[in-house]
Structure formats: C-alpha cells, structure tokens
Amino acid sequence: MDRLDNTIRPYAWGSPTAIPHLLGTEPTGEPQAEMWMGAHPGAPSRTGRGTLVEVIDADPEKELGPAAVAKFGPRLPFLLKILAAGAPLSLQVHPDLEQAKEGYADEERRGIPVDAPHRNYKDANHKPELICALTEFDGLCGFRDPLAAAGLIDGLGVDSLKPYVDLLHAHPEDAALREVLTAILTADPEEMSRTVAEAATACTRLGGAYGPYADIAHHYPGDPGVIAAMLLNHVRLQPGEALYLGAGVPHAYLNGLGVEIMANSDNVLRCGLTPKHVDVPELLRIVRFRPSDPGVLRPEASPDGEELYETPIDEFRLSRYVLPEAGGAHDLTRATPQILLCTDGSVRAGEHDLTPGGSVFVPAGEKAEVSGTGTLFRATVVA
C-alpha cells in the first residue's frame, strides 16, 4: 500500500480556500481547483516507489490485477479528484466511446497537433464522470423540459429572447432544443453580448430561481453560455449526494467542494462559459437533445458498511465508508486496484494514518484493512 503525494491544479475557477480548509493548510491566495489522485500522465500521484505511472508500468499485472489489465489494458482506468469550484466551470459535454475513437482517429488523420487549442479529442477514450458533494454543491445537468425552459427565459422579459421562447414551444422536443442551442451559439456575438447583459440585469433583479444565472453572468459577462445554461436543470446537492454524468449530457459545475471520479480521458466539447474553442458542429453531433431529470444519486448501503454509488460503467466504482468511533476494522481487500481517500476524521489504512485529503494506492489483491473514525472514499474498477 503506497501513500500518495498529489498535485493540486490552480485553475482560475478554483476556490482559494476550500481545499486548504479540507487539508488543514494555509491558503496561498491563489485558486486551488483540483487535487488529482491517480496515474494520469498530466499530473501522476507520487509514491515512495516513483510516480504511480512508473509503478504501474513496471508490473501492470501485479499492480492492477490480471482481470483489470485484460479489460482495460496496462493502465489505471480512472482518475480520482477533490474538486473545489469557486466559480462556474465551462458548460461542456463528453463523447461516448465510439464517438471518441472516431473523433480522435479523424483528428490524427488530419494532422491536428494534440496540444492545438482547436483540437477536440486528446485521446480515444470516453469520459463518464461522477461528482459526490462534500459540501453543498451547485451544478447544471441535462436539459430541462423545453416548456419549463421557455417559461424561465420568458420570465426575464428580454425582447431579443422571445424567438427562443417560441422555438421551445415547437415539437418534437429534441428538435426544439437542438434549434435553440444552435441559434444561441451561432448568434451575432455583439447582439448576443447585449442580450446577455440585459438578461443578467433581469436575473439579478428577480433573484430566486434566477440567482444562479446572475452569478454565472457575473463571471462570464456577454457569454452565450449564460443563455444556454438556462436550458439546463439547476441542481443543488447536499453532502453525500452525487451526480453521474454520462456521454452527451451537457453539464457544468457552479460552486462547492466534492469528490470526483472519471474515466482517464481529457475529451471535452465546450458549449460556453469559456474563452476556449467551441466547435459548434461537433458539439451538436455529440449532445443528446432530450429532457431528463438530473438523477441525484444517494449511496446504497450494504451490510458491511460500504455505501456504493451505482453507475452503468466499469472504468470506475466509487463508494464510501462512514466509520463509527466504536467500529472495528474493515477488510477492503479486492482483486482490483484501489485508491482510498479520507475526507473527514482520522482513518488508519494499513500502516498509514490518513487525515482529510490523505490517500493511498492499494495494488490488486493486497491486504487493505482500515479502521478509525471518519469518512473514507474507495475508488476501484469493475473487472
């Protein structure tokens, strides 16, 4: 079992205080957005045996187990994070596995450099993800019912938005949503900037259900993503609740601290709330234009104390243990690789004492006994 030394990424949207508060360290004054735990080549965790990439590369079957290597190849198929949003992230969507393979192969054939700002597909993998709230956590997830979106937008009283309201009353629903999102993202930039400014003023004045969009507009003045965001469900997670974000589902994280797990991929197509490249035709190919409930997940408890967040994919499996003061040791040994992360209290994992933010990598099949008082998240795979 290896204690992990993890990199904190200073993205501009990060909270300057949330991760330091969790870790018990002094804020630096700079944003601290994500702490990465895993073997992503961009910022692999470090161990006493080298980086986790080097450890796994030296003996994939020993570290990951034969079943995981046979199913996913000689790499850790997930990336675990602590995510601290102090401002809204970009409105985005992820491709499914087939779309990612096709898109990556196409851009490779066309000779687009992987680090080019207009490149959509950094790899040939999909990027399903799960966010579990540690604090109250605000986000956007999936399309609202078009009539509900029409009512919200109409309530702003902005004349230039009336055509979108009319379109949202059309049938079928998927065509209406597609037409409105296309119109928003291809509108004249100057005209859209004025519309967003007028909408932002109305959101601030009205408050209530419009409050999140006033905040989004504050961070991204004039961005068409402010209007696009109103097509989506706003959801507020309570600690312990989670959202699963599958392929084609538009989403954005707005504010809060959470544990995030995802397939090991960088493939993101942006819809707005960003100065980065927005490829509208490719985006429209990937987005699934159907209204949906956000589907807030609550963990399913088992007799041994494990609380599992059920998802339909195999690259990751996230669960947690809330360890009581009088509880005994729990044997978490599995035939698949694991990362264990403490988010509250004090937990002993093997020979390692973990406080909030502390984590360990457990190779496949290695004895993993935990005890103590606190909350422990367990990330592994289904193989």
Straight-line distance from the first to the last Cα atom of the chain, in angstroms, rounded to the nearest whole number: 20
- For residue 258, give the nearest of 3, 12, 14, 11 by alpha carbon: 14
User: Would you state the torsion angle of the CA atoms of residues 38, 42, 48, 54, taken in this order, to the nearest 10 degrees?
Assistant: 90
Q: Which of 252, 286, 291, 253 is nearest to 269 (CA)?
A: 286
Q: How many helices (H) and strands (E) does the chain have?
A: 12, 21
Alpha-carbon separation of residue 137 from 132, 134, 140, 237, 316 (angstroms): 9, 8, 10, 5, 22
User: Kind and range of the H or E element at 284?
Assistant: helix 280-286
| Structure-token match 């959801």, residue found | 235
| Exposure b/e, 59-94, CB count within 10 A at least 16 = b | ebeebbbeebbebbeebbbbbbbbbbbbbbbbbbbb
Q: Which of 3, 75, 144, 270 is catalytic?
A: 270
As a three-state string, the secondary structure of 158-183 is CHHHHHHHHHHCCCCHHHHHHHHHHH
Residue 371 and residue 321 in contact, taking contact as beta carbons nearer than 8 Å: no
Q: Decide if 270 is catalytic.
A: yes
Residue 82 to residue 319: CA distance in whole angstroms = 15
Largest separation between any pair of C-alpha atoms in the chain:
65
Task: State the DSSP string of 296-322.
Answer: -B-PEE-TTS-EEE--S-SS-EEEEEE
Q: How far is CA 44 from CA 64, 121, 376, in A?
A: 16, 21, 21
Angle at 7 (CA atoms; ends 275, 27), nearest 5 degrees = 80
Active-site residues: which are they?
Answer: 270
